[in-house]
Structure 1
């Protein structure tokens, strides 16, 4: 497995580096993908590990089908054979490939021990060091309500996948200090949040910030992405199954809420019992991750102002405090999050 290089500097064969955004479906991952695709040095692709070895579905959702993650992307561009996405990226002159990697939504795709919901996107520490993953989360009730709108109604699968993402982030930051977490809810609050979060991400990847990432061209949605197969390309550019990309295609950038809470459910399909269960099992997890995202963004802003700060002790407190998510924001950390606006 190839060791990562600093983006923008030539490696032995002038090959593109691999980076990743790891997310739960319906958490703003396609919007994030569109923003990153505007960076002049980045080529974006999607679901290489999830779909690379996926067998076609022959029955209904919930019926068993085999599952084996495709980890060949981690072998690097000099492998024999190399994953074809590297050649596609080099052909277009990209220095970095950013792959949006997601869990699935069906526990029956695979076995109880290994399925598309619980599988490790990053199989080992070397993969983490190579891909320098960034993780993306969304408030659980809003995300699951979005699942329900697409016909994905298995709350057990949702909770398993959500915890998988959170656990993967915790593991990654122990291997690569400074690993970034993106809260969709924080990013859509206002333009300053979006900029600071994206500045932190590009810095983590060794890239300069590109202001073009503050918006995207919805008229050309998906046309400039890198695809592992023609089937994947058709999903993004022709089929739009279940209207998965309709919201992204309707806008040319982040629709900022200007402080309006994003925890409200959009589709109104979630039940009271589901709300209570998600709050009970995932509420504290999201509160911690959302807070870490805001602290990282605040640190980025202070560095830009020439006032570098460290809040590592605050992140440690968040990770070790069982009641952290129940505290009011002003009780969770000393960094004034309002200063982001």
Structure 2
């Protein structure tokens, strides 16, 4: 027999509470969806890093086979994340992120590659997404498996607006990756002038060194980034630090304009690298004749220890002759 009253009571009963397990699954789903709104790309350098980390497994055929399977599976998972994101623009990602955050997705959650949504968004230069995540409480100093923070990645890629947003939010300027690089060192290395200027203005340490003792000025000089070198010198970067030497590194690379700028700024011509070589000797080693000419004209000389190498003296004489024998009046050794 049908009882309308009972049916009405049944309809009015509250739904059974969701179990803790179900709630956790739903939260995990939202968290991963948030992480995957922004693309999670692996650069060539990242892949090389991964292969180096896994190289210890390559001591027998069995491990090689297992490693190959792992890499194929890893790349398959990567494509699952990348392909859907290729068709999303920055604004669409921002709206999706904001919607997920309103549904209580955790901005601190880790994706399957060990990073956060903020790290991925910063690496891709998605300013609006970064700002939404920061506002929701994303960890500014969270790191991926390589030790990169959001600020380090944004600086490395030259994403000025993202860098400015992260600095404004209080990101640590002196955080380092696993090779000792700071945001300023990486921005200088890659020639991102505007990012360098923003970081310097925010108070980034000019004399911070990477694991090899290279400062931002040394890295910029080594790679021939004249405008960055000039900006760092103007900001007060030391020309002759205890570690690597900017003038020597610029001379090795044959970066004539950088050498001229450093000489003009007062770099020590007789400073020596770890092998005891001056900028003049290193320029000769790499046959950078114009650099040799600039250094000699500025007053660089071969010292007694250098003169013991007859080939070095001959190369200098040849270089000066090729440059036009403009220094007959003064022997530089």
Instruction: Compute the TM-score of the two structures, normalised by the length of structure 1.
Output: 0.29
Higher relative contact order (CA 8 A, sep 6+): 1
Give the structure with the higher percent strand.
1
Give the structure with the higher percent helix.
2
Q: Return the index of the structure with the highest Cα Rg.
A: 2
Instruction: Compute the TM-score of the two structures, normalised by the length of structure 2.
Output: 0.30
